[in-house]
Chains A and B, each alone.
Chain A
Amino acid sequence: MPLTEILQYEFMQNAFLAGTIVAIVASVVGYFVVLRHVTFAGHALSHIGFSGAAGAVLVGVSPIWGLLAFTLLAALAMGLLGERLEGRDVAIGIVLAFALGLGILFLQLYTAYASEAFSILFGSIMGISRSDVALSLGIGIVVLVALSFISRPLLFMSMNPIAAEARGVPTRLLSAVFLLIVALAVSEAVQVVGVLLIFALLVAPPATAMYLTPRLYPALSLAVGLGVLETWFGLILAYYTDYSVSFFIASAAVAAYLLVRLLVWMGVIGNVLPAQAIEGSLGS
């Protein structure tokens, strides 16, 4: 059994533990990221996190603290920009450009850390320690508890923003809280797949699941299942081939997404009722 062989090594145990935790958290948070159409904010948060991580390396602390500090601050700033979507992506883009510029500066100030930069960009799951795993678990629990607490009103305001506001849902506050949750999930996921491939865990699994079912819990379960399997697949292949884990994870995620879209397009799978059911309801 190859898996037992792999799991003899502590670094592989840690990689599997952290990878599984991160895959679960990212898929669940990602479902709401896709539902709310804030994928660009998620993308920006991860890149802003890069600068935070680079800054942390420069001052000699673990990159995760820089990631957390920068992404949470950026999420707060985005939350203050509010729900207005038109101007918002431009504003996020400008903050993002500034943050990335800062990241480059941090790297130049200390070129000795080029390998650190590489692992922030592409992930460093194989080099993760037991205490990193514990931290991932802690962050993951906070994220899932907070998200499940706000999930029902969040769903309501994502589907029917004006009606939800009229019914008393504090939409501005909750969208800011949600961005903080995304910031935590992104910081965590960067450890596994790195800044550049964050979408492989955050967006691809839930987006794939949404093509398969229009129901909340089945979609969440599918997203988590896909995210975890893709992560394990990446870890196992990376162990045997010495190529990058994030390459395999990203490839698996993209392949699953494309396969599902192809099958939906071919009509092999789909969540549409027979056409008669729709017509029957219209004629009366």
Chain B
Amino acid sequence: MQSPISRTRSPVHPQMSDEVVAEASHLSVVLRGRPVLEDVNFSLRAGEFVALIGPNGAGKSTLLRVLLGLIPPTAGSVRVLGQPVDRGNPRIGYVPQHQTFYESTPLRGRDMVALGVDGTRYGPPTPGRAQSATVQQALDDVRATAYADMPVARLSGGEQQRLMLAQALVGNPELLLLDEPLANLDIRSRREVVDLVRDISRVRGIAVVFVAHDVNPLLGCMDRVLYIANGRAVIGPQDQIVRSDVLSDLFGFPVHVIRAEGHVLVSTADGDECH
């Protein structure tokens, strides 16, 4: 099938690149006296699709905010795209967790997407820029063109999510940080969003950090997985990390990784049954 996604950076599969887009060494973060991340080490390569998984409160959003330069590391160092982190780096695209819109928000989806191009620049918005080729391309890439002219607040959570993804893409980032894009989606749409983001990552050659608290919707789709729990992190290919022994060790209680007919299921020992 012909992919409708634009080829802005590299037409070949860029995953083999050794170029590092983000790197943390001995990173520790303490928030209000409470250690959130302790001695975290990883390095992300250009164009790779990394799932960042961990239970609620593990520090996933905190890690993204460190990469964005919004939270300073308490110890250790972080470099993004070859430089120390700096707030407002236009080479990073970011879709935050839980963005809500008031029902009366009066702008169209495409206007919101256009803010990703020039929203940080002073001056009045240029009339008509929401029709520009860049904006249209990003809307096509996330398959949101059909509802791009509706007021944002009238759309479903999943549609708003795609528009925010488009807003992050119009700046042509090299690193895309997506915080829990699967929250509030049903199972089928989850897989659609994962596939969509992976396509975008491949075709545009963008490295993606895809945050989720459940690894299952991402199994088989990610190049590597970065698991965090109890402040610690492990990173590696799925078959080296998504294993009962590795995850049990990280979580500090038994975790079962069940493989059946090509499917993998991650489950905590007896956590899924009602008592």
Contact = CB atoms under 8 A, between A and B. Distances in A.
Q: From DSSP, what is the main secondary structure of chain B's interface residues?
A: loop
Contacts of A278: 146-147, 150
Interface string A247-263: 00000000000000000
Contacts of B149: 214, 273
Contacts of B232: none
A11 interface: no
B120 to A, nearest CB: 5
Interface residues of B, number: 47
B171 to A, nearest CB: 8
A104 interface: no
Given A152-B115, A273-B147, 18 more contacts: A37-B102, A150-B122, A155-B119, A159-B107, A160-B99, A160-B115, A160-B164, A163-B95, A163-B164, A164-B119, A164-B120, A167-B90, A167-B94, A167-B119, A167-B171, A168-B120, A169-B120, A278-B146
Contacts of A284: 143, 192
A165 interface: yes
A160 B118 CA distance: 13
A159 B115 contact: yes
Contacts of A152: 115, 118-119, 121-125
Contacts of B88: 166-169
A210 B164 contact: no
A6 interface: no
Q: From DSSP, what is the main secondary structure of chain A's interface residues?
A: helix
23 contacts: A35-B106, A148-B123, A151-B124, A152-B119, A152-B125, A153-B120, A153-B121, A156-B119, A159-B112, A162-B96, A163-B164, A164-B119, A164-B120, A165-B70, A167-B88, A167-B119, A169-B88, A210-B104, A214-B111, A272-B150, A278-B146, A278-B147, A281-B147
Interface in A63-113: none
B157 to A, nearest CB: 12
A162 B99 contact: yes
Contacts of B147: 273, 277-278, 281
A281 B31 CA distance: 42
A213 B107 CA distance: 8
Interface in A237-277: 271-273, 277
Interface of A: 34-35, 37, 148-153, 155-156, 159-160, 162-169, 207, 210, 213-217, 219, 271-273, 277-278, 280-281, 284
Given A163-B164, A163-B168, A217 B127 contact: yes
Nearest to B158: A282
Contacts of A162: 96, 99
B120 A281 contact: no
B135 interface: no
Interface string B111-144: 1100100111111110100000000000000011
Interface of B: 65, 68, 70, 87-90, 92, 94-96, 99, 101-102, 104-108, 111-112, 115, 118-125, 127, 143-147, 149-152, 154, 159, 164, 167-168, 171, 192
A152 B209 CA distance: 28
B108 to A, nearest CB: 5
A182 B192 CA distance: 44
Given A149-B123, A163-B96, A273-B150, A281 B87 contact: no
A68 B71 CA distance: 38
A149 B122 contact: yes
Contacts of B127: 217
Contacts of B87: 165-166, 168
Contacts of B115: 152, 155-156, 159-160, 164
